[in-house]
Structure formats: structure tokens, C-alpha cells
A and B are shown apart, each in its own frame.
Chain A
Amino acid sequence: MTTIDITEQGLRYLNETLQQQSTGTNQKEWDIINPRGSHAIAVGLDAPIQVTVNGSTGYYCGGMNKQASITVKGSAGPGVAENMSSGMVVVEGDASQYAGATGRGGTLVIRGNAASRCGISMKGIDIIVAGNIGHMSAFMAQKGNLVVLGDAGEALGDSLYEARLFVRGSVKSLGADCVEKDMTEEHIKQLAELLERADMDADPAQFRRYGSARQLYHFDVDNVSAY
């Protein structure tokens, strides 16, 4: 275990040190203290290391992550795990707006609530939220899974492509071209795997699935006069 104090050693030192770790590194465990809401904590990592951030973070914590497993023992500011490729980011508190935005892979787990635009333009990431999510979540989401154990705000899945959205609670409203879809055995099985990965105890049968009606992103010849 290596401890880095952001107040003492600085954010630049923290990120440089963590980014220098290679796939075969022996220093697997890192403990970050005094994050104090700093921006861009543990960004751009590319090694199978475990990073624990002891406190709340500002913008873009865990952004562009590959391989690393990052746990925030507090709440995360806007854009946590933005554009992540692989690995895992766990937020024990709440996450601010656009959590997991544009994520291409990996898993983002939020044990509290997520604010607006959660999973906006996600491209393969799996996001599991124990609480509620805010408005315009999964806007233009292309691929991956968004699982919500609580409620979803307004305009869920607006202009959705092929991401799958699973919500256990209520949905305030669905966005354009987002519709409820059947939960088949395949979906139940997939959802069970996602919940297990996030260490969340919930019955997959209680969720509803939402997806794209595919009316918006396919050209319809009847609309040709509009162009």
C-alpha cells in the first residue's frame, strides 16, 4: 500500500505517479488522502491497480480510466469516470452530473444518487446506480447498460441508440424515441450479472427495460420533404 497526500504532494505528482504504473507493476494498492474536492484525481490510468480516494472529489475523477479499479469514499463531482475504457470506478456517495459520460467500457458503480445526464452518450460502459438518476440521463446513449435501482428523472434515454436501460423505480418521463421494451430471459440474465458485478442486492424481475424505438436514427423516406 502506497499513500499519496494530495495536499502535501500535489495533484500533478499523484497523476504522474499513477500513470507511470505499468501492467506488471508490483505496487497494486494506492491510498489517496486529502482529495478535498480536487479536479481530475486519478485520471488516465492504465494499469491493474486499486486506488482508494478517501474523501470527495471534484470534476472528472477517474476520467479516461483503463484497467484500474478506483473507489471514491465520498461523493464525486461532475464527469466522474468520463470516457472510461475499462476497469471499474466505484463512488460510495453521490455522483454529480454526467457521470460516466461517453464511457467506452468498464463499470461505473454509484452507491448513492447520480444527478442529471448520467451516462450521456455512453458507448459501451456499464453504469449501475443504487439510488436515483437525474433528468436527461442516457441522452444519445449508443451502447452499454445503465441500471438504476431507484427512480429516473425527466427525458430518460432521449435520442437513444442501442444502449439498454434498466430501471427498478419510476421514470418521470421518457425522452424522444425511448420506449419500454420486454424483459426476456436474456435481459434478466444480463441484469443479474450486472447487479452481481456491482455487489447490489436486487431482484432483476423487478426492473423494467427501456430502449430505442429506432424511429429517430433511421431515415424514413416519408420525411424526405422535410430536408
Chain B
Amino acid sequence: MCGIVGLFLKDDALKPQLGEMLSAMLITMTDRGPDSAGIAIYGDETAGQIKITVQSSTPESDFPTLEKHIRDQTHLAKDKLNITMRDTHAVIVAAETDKDHILTLITDNHPNIRVMSQGQSIEIYKEVGLPKNVVERFALTQATGSHGIGHTRMATESAVTTLGAHPFSTGSDQCLVHNGSLSNHNMMRRKLRAEGVNIQTENDSEVAAAYLSARMSEGETLGEALTSGLNNLDGFFTFVVGTKTGFGVLRDPIACKPAVMAETDAYVAFGSEYRALVNLPDIDQARVWEPEPAEVYFWSH
């Protein structure tokens, strides 16, 4: 089991409430996944700037060291540099032109620090523990943005660790959450690694994320990549996939993992169960339906 929630806002007036709405949805899904939780938020973007979300299990010592290290780099655009720490995570905002330099600096010199996501608008926060504790630790109710997806995890395929929690991000501004289990993930992981794709964990869901990112980097749209996924990913899945402009939903042809969607003029919402959606505004007037098996859905701004 696992719980998935997703919220895509059509009405910009709701943007300040994205974190609050999504956090409430996430906490409702606690009994589907009490061991870890995570949220990807697509917040405001600034032209020419990127965000890198990093994580460490010893943030008190690692993040100040990292910050000093970055600030000591003489050729970085310091006026755009900003590092915000939130519990075990930190968000580095920097000039887009400095992205590769900072990412290399982290991977080469800071083995305790893991990159959770990078892109113009994505931020990912995930940890082990009850969803409500994860929400509190990262003050997720205060997050703002245009869309976001969240996951509550009941681990089946790999260990309960921060890196095993969802969402998984394997491409710029891309992320994926998964309810289910893949049966060909070991073979697919080997194939993708042979293609040069970086996969950090032994988790099956990360393989799905990496697979979709790899297809998109070859020029496929998200819709095409999801369709390819239907042919090449074997197992049970309900995926919700986030990109900079929106989110997509895909269920495997057997569709035993639950999924409910609701749409109004103000939002499109996804929940593993209807319970997750009941507090959304005007839910009684919303069009509520179950996404069809093996059908690709996508909403974008």
C-alpha cells in the first residue's frame, strides 16, 4: 500500500494555499503509508535562476560547510545565491549558469549530502516518519506554488530510508510518486545505467522515474514517455508525475491500485482515495471520477 495525492491549481488565487491544501490531503493518507512521506512543490520561478534541493542526515554540520564551500567559489554569481535550510533539507537558489558547477561541487566533495531535485521551480521534501511530522518539520503548510504532488509510503520493495521515500526526481523539474510495485525494475535499472542514467537507490519507483526522464531526454513528451512506460514497465502502478508545467497520471492495465480524481474550475486533484479530497473547496460540485486503466492523463498550465 501507499498513498498518493496531487493538486494542480487552475485558479491562481489558490496558489498561497497550495501547501496547506496538499498537506491536509497528505495527512489524510497516513494509514496508507505511515513510514515515510514526501512532497514536491512547484513554486514560483525566476528567470535565470535554478533551485537545488539537498538533504543531509547531519544538516547542522554539513549545510554550513556546503554553504561556505559554495560561497568561496570566486566565479559564482553571488548576487543570485541564496541558501535556505529547513530541517534536513536545504534549498540552494543560484544563477542557472552555475547549476552544473554547484551540482559537481556537491557530488565531488560532500558525500553526506544528497541532491533531492533540481530545476527552475521544483522543491522536494521527504523524510521517514509520520506524514504529519514530515509536514511540520518542513513547514509544508506554508508552501506556495502552482501544483504539487505528495506520497505516503508503506515500504514493500526496499528499505525505509529518506532516499527510499517518494517523490523521486531524476530530471530537471521532474518527479514521480508511485503506488504499487514493479517486477522488472532490476533489469530496467541495469539497462538505464548502461545508457548512462544516474540511479541512486535500489528502489523500484526510482527506476520508473529514471525511465520516464530518460525517454523525455530523448525528445519524447511526458505523454509519449508514459505511453512507452506502459510497454516497458512491468508490474502494478499508479503513477503521478510532475513536470514544471503540470502533472500526469497513469495506471497500469490491471489497475488494482486505487485512484480518484476531482476537477472543478479552480483545480484538478488526485487522491488514492476519495477521503483525501473531501476538504477541497466545492468538492460537492466537483466532477469526481476514477482514471481509466492504461490511459494517459495530463494537465498543464
Contacts and interface: CB of A to CB of B under 8 A. Distances in A.
B76 interface: no
Interface in A119-137: 134-135
Interface in A181-220: none
Nearest to A56: B274
B298 interface: no
Contact of A115 (B276, B277, B288, B290): B290
B299 interface: no
Contacts of B288: 56, 75
Given A56-B288, A94-B290, A116-B293, A37 B255 contact: no
Chain A, interface SS category: loop
A96 B260 CA distance: 9
Nearest to B279: A36
B273 interface: yes
Interface residues of A, number: 17
B275 A94 contact: no
A36 B280 CA distance: 12
Contacts of B277: 37
Interface in B245-301: 253-256, 258, 260, 273-278, 288-290, 293
B275 A97 contact: no
Contacts of A36: 275, 278
Contacts of A134: 255, 293
B74 to A, nearest CB: 57
Classify chain B's interface size.
10 to 19
B274 A77 contact: yes
Nearest to B288: A75
Interface string A76-93: 011000000000000000
A15 interface: no
Contacts of B275: 36-38, 58
A38 B293 CA distance: 24
Contacts of B255: 97, 115-116, 134-135
A58 B290 contact: no
Contacts of A97: 255-256, 258
B289 A94 contact: yes
Listed from nearest, the 3 A-B pairs whose CB atoms lie closest are A37-B275, A37-B274, A36-B278
23 contacts: A36-B278, A37-B273, A37-B275, A37-B276, A37-B277, A56-B274, A56-B288, A58-B274, A59-B273, A75-B274, A77-B258, A94-B289, A94-B290, A96-B258, A96-B260, A97-B255, A97-B258, A116-B255, A116-B256, A116-B293, A134-B293, A135-B253, A135-B255
Given A77-B274, A96-B260, 17 more contacts: A36-B275, A36-B278, A37-B273, A37-B274, A37-B275, A38-B275, A56-B288, A57-B274, A58-B275, A75-B274, A96-B258, A96-B290, A115-B290, A116-B255, A116-B256, A134-B255, A135-B255
